[in-house]
Amino acid sequence: AQSVTQPDIHITVSEGASLELRCNYSYGATPYLFWYVQSPGQGLQLLLKYFSGDTLVQGIKGFEAEFKRSQSSFNLRKPSVHWSDAAEYFCAVGTSGTYKYIFGTGTRLKVLA
């Protein structure tokens, strides 16, 4: 069955520190992979996406993610976190044909000043 796992429910980092949010997926074919960010009271904003090709993808707001097929992972990274990055982050797998997404349960990021 298709699934997405975000093992960390909460993460706290200091401003300026590096960040890595984990995402593991289970999907039979080559997946479409996405990271979204949700600030309080807001909708979901697309940070970046992977379809094929280069396994390291760059997104908005200085984020990047690396697709590792052997590990079924698509971890999100940022070299230096800003206080405005505090939000909830969702990983999603898109299924070809139906275009449905399977979302992870989210990771809530707290940034310490």
Distance between CA 29 and CA 26 in Å, rounded?
9
80: which DSSP letter? Answer: S
From the CB of 16, what's the least distance to another protein, in Å? 30
**Which helix (DSSP H) or strand (DSSP E) does residue 65 occupy?**
strand 64-68
Which residues in the 30-89 window bind another protein by CB under 8 A?
32, 34, 36, 42-46, 49, 51
Nearest Cα to 1, choosing from 33, 23, 26? Answer: 26
From the CB of 110, what's the least distance to another protein, in Å? 17
Opening angle at CA 16, ends 12 and 22, nearest 5: 45
Q: Please count the residues of this chain forming the interface with another protein, following the rule CB under 8 A.
A: 19
Q: Which is nearer to another protein, 51 or 83 (CB)?
A: 51
Contact status: 28 vs another protein (CB under 8 A): no
Contact status: 100 vs another protein (CB under 8 A): yes
Helix%, strand%, coil% for the chain, nearest 5: 10, 50, 40
Residues that bind another protein (CB under 8 A): 32, 34, 36, 42-46, 49, 51, 90, 94, 98-101, 103, 105-106
